[in-house]
Structures are given as structure tokens and as C-alpha cells.
Amino acid sequence: MIGFEVHPRKRAISNEFVQKFLRIPVANVSDCMSRMTAGGARLRPMHDGTPMGGPALTVRTRPGDNLMVHKALSLAQPGDVIVVDAGGDLTNAIIGEIMTSHAQTRGLAGIIINGAIRDSGTIGRGSFPVYAAGVTHRGPYKDGPGEINCTVSLDGMTIEPGDLILGDDDGLLCVPYDQAQAILDAATAKHAAEEKMLADIAAGKLDTSWIDARLKALGCL
């Protein structure tokens, strides 16, 4: 039927990569991706801020409908992050406490909803990662249509099934499957450099000579 598709996921980022990226702030990874990729400032952590990382299991659904999200929960493997593009509509909640509890019990790494959630108090007190654009008490419909393991886009951030999804207090980021090693190498070096800067600040040794050098190059000094 047109609008109803469940595709197989052909690949997924390995847990080895997930664990290495979880040691690095999302902002450092973002800097190494030329600051060109982001899941949008609307998608905020609804939980206690525990970092999130895992391969994407993607869902595209009609706004306000969660039938295919239920199906995705049954297909997801431990460690997966379910990424739901519900059109950004905030009229109806796509998930709440029951589906979140189910996901946590099944060992998923998190859920992203480009739309609304409910039971925000319970979710907010928990450590299971949930990102969403808003909150409403109005529940979802269960009629479809929808598609699983398709390409989705969250505010311009394209996500393919199996790509690495990262999240922390600063928001969400997708690391493309084929670029994971190169981005990991760059982000690890970036994080080490920032750790050194913080140590220099604490020791009163921060080198700020780059500021005047930059201004001179711009013709200001």
C-alpha cells in the first residue's frame, strides 16, 4: 500500500564506534564537521541529560500518528536509537511513558521525536534519552501511514538508517556511517586540544596571542 513501507536496515554503526564517540562532547564532533550539521535547536533533551549514542533506526510518519513507531520498537535491536520524523507537528504526542518504558526495557539507546511527547515529568526525571520538539497531553492516532528504515531529515540534518546518532545537553548530531573514522580522529584531537586549553586557563597560562594575530590579518591592527 502506498505510504506503508518497512525496509530492512542494510548496515549499522558498530558499538565500538559508539563507545568512542560517547567520550567526546557533541559540540567537539560538530566543530569537526565544519559546523554544517545539526538536528535543530528545537529538538531538546526531555530526560535528565544522559548522553546518547547508537545506530539510527529511522521512521517517517504522518504527523500525530505513531503506528509505525510501535512497529519500529518491535524491530529495534539493543543499542539502537529510534529517529522519528513526525513532521515537527506538536498537536499530538507521538510517545509517552509507556512507549519509553518499553524502549528502555528492550535495551534501546534512545528515541528522537521530530514532534511532541507527553508524560514529560516522568521522562524528565529519568535517564533514558528522549529528544523532542515539544510537549502536549493530547495522544496520538494509530492509523498510519509511515515508513521504517528510510532516509529522514531533521531540520536539514539527513539521517540514513544505521548512521551514528549522538546527543547530549547541546542537542543532536548525525555522523554519517562512511565518515565515522575520519570524524572520530578529528573530534578526538579537538577534544584533547580543548582539554589542554581548560588546563591552561586553570593554570593562568592561556595563550591568547591568536586574537591580535587574527585582527592584524583582517586589517584591524
**Residues 6+ positions from 127 with CB-CB distance below 8 Å:** 47, 48, 50
Distance in angstroms (rounded) separating the CA atoms of residues 169 and 6: 32
Determine if residue 98 is labeled as part of a ligand binding site.
yes
Residue 118 assigned to a binding site: yes
Q: Is 54 annotated as contributing to ligand binding?
A: no
- Taking each continuous run of H as one helix and of E as one strand, the counts in the chain are 7, 12
Joined grid coordinates for residue 68: 509505525
Three-state secondary structure call for residue 36: coil
Q: Report whether 11 belongs to an annotated binding site.
A: no
- 143 marked ligand binding residue: no
138 labeled binding residue: no
Q: 103 φ, ψ to 5°?
A: -65, -40
Please report, in range form, the residues annotated as the binding site.
96-99, 118-119
Please report, in range form, the residues annotated as the binding site for substrate.
96-99, 118
Please report, in range form, the residues annotated as the binding site for Mg(2+).
119
